[in-house]
Amino acid sequence: MILNTIVTAFTAMYFMVGSEASPCKVSSRTIESPLTSGISSAVTSADISTATTSATYLLSTEESSVIVAESERTTETSMADEETTTVSITTTESTYTHAATITDRTTTTEAAIPTFISNAGFEDFAVSMAPWRKTNEGQTVASVVSDFSHDGQNSVRMTWAAPAASYIAQDIQSPVTAGVAYTMSAWVNLSPACFNAILMCTYGVRSTAKSETFPISGSMANQWIFISSTCTYTQDQIDAGSLVLQVGLTCVAGGYGYYDTVDFST
């Protein structure tokens, strides 16, 4: 019994001596980590500085450019506690540039082409060749026909009762310019009893500015022939007024011919 008491007391003293050992030391460390993405941490204190964003816009009439430049954004967070952690985050956002080109569009309106003669193909009326008129009234007969033509449906047929040169004529409608060579032309078809085609521009009272004769041989009869020449008026002739385009044929009695697609232009 006494021995057991001694052993128990000795054991208790041993444990009391062991409990007087030094306490554990708390360590302190610093961690520095660069990050390129978001980090979630519990902090007790923080200092945050963020750079602002700037934008510049440039615009001109010829070229429109928009430049958006975002400054480098730096966020620095410092945290202090019993265990200190320092995190440095640097994010550089890319610069985006957009350029747009605006082209000035100029609309040009072409000047209207003057109309010097009308009903050039004799298509405007079924039976009338107006505003064309016929000369040498007593020697020829002229009429619009729809069964024979070079272009379109109609042409003018003229027949001769006696040998003569006979014309279809029209007043030139638009003003002409002195010294400018205008083209006058027509398609004609002649019977074997006809031997000349004529283009002529006149002014005043039966005064001729230009006349050109085209001999037609027998081998050219009964086929469409294109005739063309030029007409140049002087200022005195223009001032005299009554500018007229004429297309004629010379035939003997019993002859006939056709006119189609007459033109007077620059």
Angle at Cα 91 formed by Cα 87 and Cα 96, nearest 5°? 175
Contact yes or no for 172/245 (Cβ under 8 A): yes
Q: How far apart are alpha carbons 70 and 92 in whole angstroms?
A: 9
Q: Residue 61's pLDDT is what?
A: 39
> Which residues, given as ranges, of the chain have pLDDT below 50?
2-3, 5-98, 100
Q: How far apart are alpha carbons 147 and 168 in whole angstroms?
A: 20
Enumerate the domain spans of the chain. 28-101, 133-265
Contact yes or no for 160/251 (Cβ under 8 A): yes
CATH architecture for residues 133-265: Sandwich (2.60)
Q: Residue 135's pLDDT is what?
A: 85
Q: Phi and psi (nearest 5°) for 252? A: -95, 175
Q: Residue 139's pLDDT is what?
A: 86
Specify which residues 112 forms β-bridges with: none
Q: How far apart are alpha carbons 36 and 40 in whole angstroms?
A: 13
Cα–Cα nearest to 231, from 179, 165, 189 = 179
Q: Is the pTM of this model over 0.75?
A: no
Q: Residue 108's pLDDT is what?
A: 64
